[in-house]
């Protein structure tokens, strides 16, 4: 299932983010260039993870000025995150709810994201999120949001507002932490952690939930698994371009005319579409070459001269110059580091 949905997310969270941005006064035209939003309201699909990340970028300023994570979750209603929402309320306890929601985290997230639930020595339970987005400009906001989302869902399932034992965040402490203390309901907030997490008290985790329904929990457990496996990935235009570009490599260094023909458009139209996506043919070809060079250096024993010919460089000197531009060192260092 992970292979089928790799690089995609459920559209549910992205819908919620778009609503939060618009409610905070975001000009709808700012969303016009975000790929994948045209199919956002369809059911049974998954959209590119890049689409969700791009929405985070677009809404970050207006939504966070209007209240941030709290503002987003104020718009949440049961079912806003699909079946994943309901896994919380029908479980036997909050400990069970967190464990089953972590097992089905792909129902709302990319398979590369992980929700790790661990029992602490003191009896409490910690839910921590790990995702490959540390270098993304909006990572601090996403890292702030995930613990609050979990706090909102667990509080609703418990039928009362929970007070977490501790919250950990990966970024540096802000000048004024009062907003975060109010957001999470605790002053025990640690910063510069490895990843964001929220810890709940043992008594809260073990207490029976008021709407526990073992039979329904089993049904939803199956539904979460099957619906994720059956979801149809809907690629944006740039994703289709990347797929065609990669396939064109099989017959040698790809040309603009060749790729444009496979996409049923003129070279001029292709260049215009790439500009609309914030990139260019030259930049995309450079990234493709870099990926291929990196793989061939790490995973084969081909000479630098052979790799240069395969990837479309005029000679080995041109390839060496490109590698220095990309990495700041020569091909030997990449080869010595082994497979990625």
User: How many of the other CB atoms lie within 10 Å of CB of 27?
Assistant: 11
Tokens for 160, please give them.
């009362």
Residue 250 CB-density burial (10 A; 0-12 exposed, 13-18 middle, 19+ buried): exposed
How confident is the model over 271-316, as pLDDT tens digits? Answer: 998 888 778 999 888 888 888 898 889 878 899 999 988 888 889 9
Q: What is the pLDDT of residue 37?
A: 79
The mean pLDDT of 1-5, rounded to a whole number, is: 61
> Is residue 239 very low, low, confident or very high in pLDDT (cuts 50, 70, 90)?
confident
- Indicate if the pLDDT at residue 86 is higher than 70: yes
Which one is predicted more confidently, 242 or 48?
A: 48
| Mean pLDDT calculated for residue range 168-196 | 95
Predicted pLDDT of residue 64? 79
Choosing among 1.10.3720.10, 1.10.10.60, 3.40.50.300, 3.20.20.150, the CATH entry for 280-340 is 1.10.10.60
- The string of DSSP codes covering 97-141 is HHHHHHHTGGGTS-TT-EEEEEE-TTS-EEEEEE-S-TTSTTHHH
What pTM did the predictor assign? 0.72
Residue 147 binned pLDDT confidence (cut-offs 50, 70, 90): very high
**Any idea what DSSP says for residue 243?**
H
Average pLDDT (231-245) is 79
Instruction: Identify whether the C-beta of residue 148 lies closer than 8 Å to the C-beta of residue 164.
Output: no
Q: For residue range 16-73, list pLDDT tens digits in order.
A: 999 999 999 988 888 876 767 777 888 899 988 888 988 998 888 887 777 889 989 9
In the chain, how long is the greatest CA-to-CA distance? 70
Q: 210 burial class (0-12, 13-18, 19+ CB within 10 angstroms)? A: exposed
Taking the alpha carbons of 231, 7, 81, 72 in that order, is the dihedral positive or negative?
A: negative
The CA-based angle 106-234-101, given to 5 degrees, is 10
Q: Tell me the pairing of strands 45-48 and 8-9.
A: antiparallel
Q: What is the mean pLDDT of the chain?
A: 89
104-135 pLDDT, tens digit per residue, is: 999 999 999 999 999 988 889 999 999 988 88
In this prediction, residues 232-236 reach a mean pLDDT of 79
Give me the pLDDT at residue 253, please: 75
Residue with tokens 């043992």: 202
Quick one: average pLDDT of 66-93? 92
Helix-then-strand count for the chain, H and E? 17, 8
Residue that is written with structure tokens 């036997």 in the block: 92
Q: What is the pLDDT of residue 339?
A: 63
More confident residue, 23 or 5: 23
Of 248, 328, 307, 236, the closest CA to residue 278 belongs to 236
Residue with tokens 């975060």: 180
pLDDT of amino acid 39: 79
Percent helix, strand, coil in the chain (nearest 5)?
A: 55, 10, 35
Give the pLDDT score at 268.
Answer: 94
Contact 124, 193 (CB under 8 A): no
Distance from C-alpha of 302 to C-alpha of 161, rounded to nearest angstrom: 61
């Amino acid at each position: 299932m992970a292979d089928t949905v790799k690089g995609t997310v459920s559209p549910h969270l992205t819908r919620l983010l778009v609503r939060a941005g618009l409610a905070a006064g975001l000009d709808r035209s700012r969303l016009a260039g975000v790929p994948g939003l045209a199919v956002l309201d369809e059911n049974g699909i998954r959209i590119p993870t890049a689409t969700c990340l791009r929405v985070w970028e677009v809404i970050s300023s207006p939504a966070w000025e209007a209240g941030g994570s709290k503002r987003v979750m104020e718009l949440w209603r049961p079912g806003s995150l699909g079946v994943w929402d309901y896994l919380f309320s029908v479980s036997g306890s909050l400990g069970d709810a967190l464990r089953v929601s972590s097992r089905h985290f792909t129902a709302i997230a990319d398979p590369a994201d992980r929700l790790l639930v661990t029992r602490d020595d003191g009896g409490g339970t910690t839910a921590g999120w790990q995702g490959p987005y540390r270098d993304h400009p909006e990572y601090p906001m996403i890292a702030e949001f995930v613990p609050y989302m979990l706090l909102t869902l667990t509080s609703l399932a418990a039928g009362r507002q929970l007070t977490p034992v501790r919250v950990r965040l990966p970024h540096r402490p802000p000048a004024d932490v009062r907003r975060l203390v109010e957001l999470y309901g605790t002053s025990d907030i640690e910063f510069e952690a490895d990843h964001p997490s929220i810890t709940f008290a043992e008594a809260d985790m073990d207490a029976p939930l008021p709407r526990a329904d073992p039979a329904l929990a089993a049904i939803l457990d199956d539904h979460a698994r099957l619906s994720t496996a059956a979801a149809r990935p809907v690629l944006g235009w740039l994703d289709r371009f990347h797929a065609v570009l990669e396939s064109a490599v099989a017959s040698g260094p790809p040309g603009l005319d060749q790729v444009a023909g496979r996409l049923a458009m003129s070279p001029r139209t292709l260049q215009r579409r790439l500009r609309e996506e914030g990139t260019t043919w030259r930049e995309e070809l450079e990234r493709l070459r870099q990926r291929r060079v990196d793989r061939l250096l790490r995973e084969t024993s081909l000479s630098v001269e052979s790799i240069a010919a395969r990837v479309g460089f005029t000679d080995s000197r041109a390839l060496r110059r490109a590698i220095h531009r990309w990495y700041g060192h020569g091909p030997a260092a990449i080869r010595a580091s082994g497979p990625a």
